Structure 1
């Protein structure tokens, strides 16, 4: 038998592609090399599954710094609001949390995965798990998929939804790139995004700030001229190897791109008090010093940042713990406040792509038709999800991209496969 549509990969985009194709009435085969479908969905959002984001389309695209604008076309067919309607139609109630993030009301990612599996069943999609693809032979009227342990599969349309190289234990180990190359596609440089950063600074190596987290701080990646390339205001964390936490993960791809240009180390600047200028801080604490000359500087500044950070900054500026305001020198005072506003960490690398949340790079979007996700290099071939050179920040944006491109590719592959 020749299937109308075959989808390789049972992650978010592959599941959505198989569903959209079957909704058009196509005969659909879904191949997954792992034991389970939807593994990445099941662990996303800390096991709660951040299915999409309710922000306006413009905002969602802004949160996809890696070629998000490519999604304007697919969004005109199926967008983040359609994703919400889709899951509610399947009986998964969703709730909105901060920054527009949408989660299942039950807080269980498994409910999202199960709703998709049940629907695949209802639509009579043939699913083969633990099925490894060895290679693809592209043909004029149909493609042949060679499997490790069974007969080859013939299909009119083929959708490659194999993911990137991030989070490999979910099965995304980069298999699809070679099949895309065989079809004549360019794979842009792959790099980790949403990834912790590594530092050899002595205070990191000596674990002086390990475990200290800072809330609502400005984290910036500085270029060679010490100007910010990007700034994100969120929480961050000092670790035994460097820095992590939401603000750092968002900034990480910009640091990684600097490394790729041969710029190492890269300076990360932390403004621990972004809501006050250095001048305001100086005036406030100058006044406090004058009013309380006998009070220690440590007690005067208490609570402004976590205590271990205060201890480190005092050490950094040669201020003894018992130093009173009256005895604090001009250099010590200004140096301390300067550190609060411009704390620098030199990062020399990121954790590897396998430890990243998202893969940067992939099948070049210049070689894919935006409103159908069809290959420009090979007829009857489609791509969706993280194999494409599209990536976003965490917060439901990558899953949105996966589900949208999955839906659009599945629909179009079915029309072409049945034509």
Structure 2
């Protein structure tokens, strides 16, 4: 039987940082990974480039954590994005800032980030065991005693960090194992649901695949509920697909789509796209007048194709109900207003999202009222700590989720080490 101070279950971003933090605090750490390598999810993050965090600071990051971000105030006060930046830069990973504060390694390779983490694990003498699938967390006297592996082997420990992730991207090993382990010790699981996931539409426009593959930069989207009430507005890049909407903008909307439909039973929602967010209605009408004066014989369809991509222009033109031969000279003021309304309020009905297996992030997880927000220790059993996506916390894409993973990992690992080492000290006093 193996004896260690800390067991970290799971070798994703949260588990990796938890193991390093615990070891830096002076604890003996054993990491148990059920797969054959560490950091699988880290390697696919940021399109394979690993968006390590966001440069805009704590308040900005918390604003981009729609899933219970307030719970993390204490965590971020202990170890924030600034510490993440220092951690990697002090270990030779040079970072560069891109749009919206996203930070990537200058190599544009997630492997650069993982290599730095692996070197630190080795330097801190963290013991790593692969193909170690945990069946149960063992309890004793109201606290953890270790784990039981599927092989029947027991590993004893004074504290455990559970960092098994959610159940999105199951090929990376996130299959919801940790939920069962936590439930066995009295924890409640908020039912997992997909978020940061593409949107599904049965709109005729989508079903006919007229805009499939069309990518739009920096458009604005407003989501309306089933009663026509505005829910949220987001801005970003958008991709039309054969099933609906994808890209960063759709993924940002998905949290609101999923949570709204969880309440209403999948009623259709309306997404209204502003295809020209930099253009006011007045500016567009002025441009239209100038074009009418200078090019009165130009076809309206041709003018539209100069403003937005051709396939999109044709859809806008048809939605306005114009004849194909209509020219700018024949265009009435009210017709111009119809065009700008379509460009500023282009509607797509959303019926659903793709499922958990296709989502980037899992919503739901360990109920937060059962977790100490300062230490991330369980309130149900002493010595059990949580980190990362297993918690009922989730963020938008853009470096925010991996920031949550790293920060909760560091805080959970630090406090797990403090707990374990204090147990050692108490045993010394009583022996």
In structure 2, runs of 5+ residues without a counterpart are: 423-431
The residue that corresponds to 1:280 in the other structure is 283
2:226 equivalent among 224, 227, 230: 224
Deviation at 1:345, TM superposition (A): 0.8
The residue that corresponds to 2:326 in the other structure is 323
Tell me the distance in 2 between the aligned counterparts of 1:164 and 1:222.
29
1:405 equivalent among 404, 408, 411: 408
Alignment of 1:174-185 (within 5 A): 174-185=176-187
1:348 is the counterpart of 2:327: no
SS in 1 for 2:297: coil
Tell me the distance in 1 between the aligned counterparts of 2:61 and 2:294.
49
Q: Is the 8 A contact 2:134 2:149 kept in 1?
A: yes
Deviation per residue, 1:359-412 (Å, 9 max, x gap): 111111221111111111111110000001111111111111111110111111
Deviation at 1:287, TM superposition (A): 4.6
1:74 is the counterpart of 2:75: yes
Tell me the distance in 1 between the aligned counterparts of 2:179 and 2:48.
28
SS in 2 for 1:190: strand
Task: Provide the TM-score with structure 1 as the length reference.
Answer: 0.96
Tell me the distance in 1 between the aligned counterparts of 2:5 and 2:304.
69
Deviation per residue, 1:142-199 (Å, 9 max, x gap): 4231111251111110110000111111101111111111121121232111111011
The residue that corresponds to 1:392 in the other structure is 395
Tell me the distance in 2 between the aligned counterparts of 1:237 and 1:112.
29
Deviation at 1:19, TM superposition (A): 0.8
Q: Is the 8 A contact 2:225 2:270 kept in 1?
A: yes
Task: State which drifts further: 89-98 or 377-386.
Answer: 89-98
2:272 equivalent among 251, 269, 294: 269
1:199 equivalent among 198, 201, 205: 201
The residue that corresponds to 1:377 in the other structure is 380
Tell me the distance in 1 between the aligned counterparts of 2:376 and 2:111.
28
In structure 1, runs of 5+ residues without a counterpart are: none
Deviation at 1:244, TM superposition (A): 0.9
Deviation per residue, 1:248-288 (Å, 9 max, x gap): 11111101112111251011110111222334323432453
Tell me the distance in 2 between the aligned counterparts of 1:56 and 1:415.
28
Tell me the distance in 1 between the aligned counterparts of 2:144 and 2:8.
14
Q: Is the 8 A contact 1:384 1:406 kept in 2?
A: yes
Count of residue correspondences = 419
SS in 2 for 1:158: strand
